[in-house]
């Protein structure tokens, strides 16, 4: 492998010639071989760095035109566009398990943007290939301590709004359609995994839909605090080396670049050290995971069988379910969703623990915090989309089995309470169960009602 020599404040470093990063990135790559090549900084964070570095350069050009010249700004913007598009992702090799401030990832961005900007500047026939310096130009008016939390919030808002909410919306739409299509189908309800009073299938589906709608509302509420950006606080929140108004200008530029609303954090000391906004937002994602666990479990229980389970619905058959049992098909989409839900619940602990480590003026667990947060959002988005496309959209009611189960339920005896009282109704249910006879036969045998009285009181389809 060919190398070139790069240098930083600690001296010279050999860097692979084909790579665009510099000395500090290479030091980190060599010093932190923990999850290398697998648990690297999330792409969402890299993209967010491209956005914030472009926004910072624009703000610096406004406030420091003598230092951030139009020539430098143009080169930086062009380089940042390549970072934002994802075409330079291979040049961001650093792992999550690095410094807790994310300093090396900030420098990775600075070095790559400087290198690419210089290349673009030279290719345009402008002469010098050393127009941009990673620290002096790309990191102007910034610190790792305010750029990394800013990238965290940008990435969080974008992933929630662009990935998770659309996935939830699609599943809500599917349940709304199923709800309308299954109006009037009465089935047995279940509580404590035991038979309960009747419910319509559309009412059951409406519970799933409403849960998702409430989760969506909670997620939307949690996004609002994430719109506050730490940029402008620099090293400890005081804004040292950043011009007055820089923070506001950057927030406006980020908003314009993303098409989303961002504002400057009102208290930069809080913004650097506290990650409560991410904890709150991840809590909303966890709430969604909890409801998806419930919905997926309901669906796989209702589809259990095909002969020995509940069998009240059918779901799409996507792939063979066993390597030894021919013809077996399993509710695999439900299983995938429930596994993702478990991962999200585990990630919530990691996010919470990481957020608790705000020592003095800086949180130093930021990479692991955002890594778990973004993994949760990514997994939930993809799992919900897959579940919708390969399972929920194909749910069909087994009306015959629902009717059979409904009329075989002992809890229909509840309809007799107003006529014979709770205790006599309980006797009817116990006798019917013990002797394997119908509720009507048991009630008549006990002499509590005549046949005509029983028929008048006992109308399962009207119990919803």
**Which residues are known to be catalytic?**
192, 322
Asked whether the beta carbons of 94 and 45 are under 8 A apart, the reply is no
Query: Which pair of structure tokens corresponds to residue 327?
Result: 């013809």
CA dist., res. 182 & res. 211, Å (int): 18
- The interaxial angle of helices 144-159 and 366-390, nearest 10 deg, is 10
User: 98-123 as b/e, with b when 16 or more CB fall inside 10 Å?
Assistant: bbbbbbbbbbbbbbbbbbbbbebbee
Those residues with Cβ within 8 angstroms of residue 116's Cβ, 6 or more apart along the chain or in another chain: 20, 78, 79, 82, 83, 88
Task: Answer whether the bond into residue 306 is a cis peptide, omega within 30°.
Answer: yes
Nearest to 43 by CA among 103, 87, 100: 87
Nearest to 231 by CA among 219, 246, 210: 246
Query: Which pair of structure tokens corresponds to residue 301?
Result: 């229980």
Q: Which residues, listed in sequence order, are joined to residue 195 by a DSSP beta bridge?
A: 190
């Amino acid at each position: 492998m060919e190398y070139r020599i790069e240098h930083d404040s600690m001296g010279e470093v050999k860097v692979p010639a084909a790579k665009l990063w510099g000395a500090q990135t290479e030091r980190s790559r060599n010093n932190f071989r923990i999850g290398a090549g697998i648990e690297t900084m999330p792409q969402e964070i890299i993209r967010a760095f491209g956005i914030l570095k472009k926004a910072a350069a624009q703000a610096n050009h406004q406030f420091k035109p003598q230092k951030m010249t139009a020539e430098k700004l143009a080169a930086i913007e062009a380089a940042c566009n390549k970072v934002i598009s994802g075409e330079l992702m291979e040049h961001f090799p650093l792992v999550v398990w690095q410094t807790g401030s994310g300093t090396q990832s900030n420098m990775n961005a600075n070095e790559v943007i400087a290198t690419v900007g210089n290349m673009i500047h030279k290719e345009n026939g402008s002469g010098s290939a050393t127009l941009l310096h990673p620290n002096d130009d790309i990191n102007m008016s910034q610190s790792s301590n305010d750029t990394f939390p800013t990238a965290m919030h940008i990435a969080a808002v974008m992933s929630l709004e662009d990935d998770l909410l659309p996935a939830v919306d699609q599943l809500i739409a599917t349940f709304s359609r199923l709800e309308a299509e299954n109006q009037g189908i009465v089935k047995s309800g279940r509580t404590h995994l035991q038979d309960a009073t009747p419910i319509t299938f559309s009412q059951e589906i409406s519970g799933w839909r409403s849960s998702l709608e409430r989760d969506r509302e909670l997620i939307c509420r949690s996004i609002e605090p994430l719109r506050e950006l730490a940029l402008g606080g620099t090293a400890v929140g005081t804004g040292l080396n950043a011009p007055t108004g820089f923070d506001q200008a950057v927030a406006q530029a980020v908003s314009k670049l993303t098409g989303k609303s961002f504002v400057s954090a009102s208290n930069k000391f809080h913004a650097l050290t506290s990650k409560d906004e991410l904890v709150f937002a991840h809590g909303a994602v966890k709430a969604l995971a909890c409801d998806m666990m419930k919905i997926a479990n309901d669906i796989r229980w209702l589809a259990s069988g095909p002969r020995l389970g509940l069998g009240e619905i059918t779901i799409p058959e996507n792939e063979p379910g066993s390597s030894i049992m021919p013809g077996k098909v399993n509710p695999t989409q439900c299983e995938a969703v429930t596994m993702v839900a478990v991962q999200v619940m585990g990630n919530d602990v990691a996010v919470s623990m990481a957020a608790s480590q705000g020592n003095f003026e800086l949180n130093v667990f930021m990479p692991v915090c955002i890594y778990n947060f973004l993994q949760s959002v990514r997994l939930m988005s993809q799992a919900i989309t897959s579940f919708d496309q390969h399972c929920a959209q194909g749910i069909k009611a087994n009306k015959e089995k629902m009717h059979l189960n409904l009329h075989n339920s002992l809890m229909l005896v509840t309809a007799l309470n107003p006529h014979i009282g709770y205790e006599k109704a309980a006797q009817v249910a116990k006798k019917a169960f013990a002797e394997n006879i119908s509720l009507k036969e048991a009630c008549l045998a006990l002499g509590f009602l005549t046949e005509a009285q029983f028929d008048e009181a006992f109308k399962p389809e009207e119990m919803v």
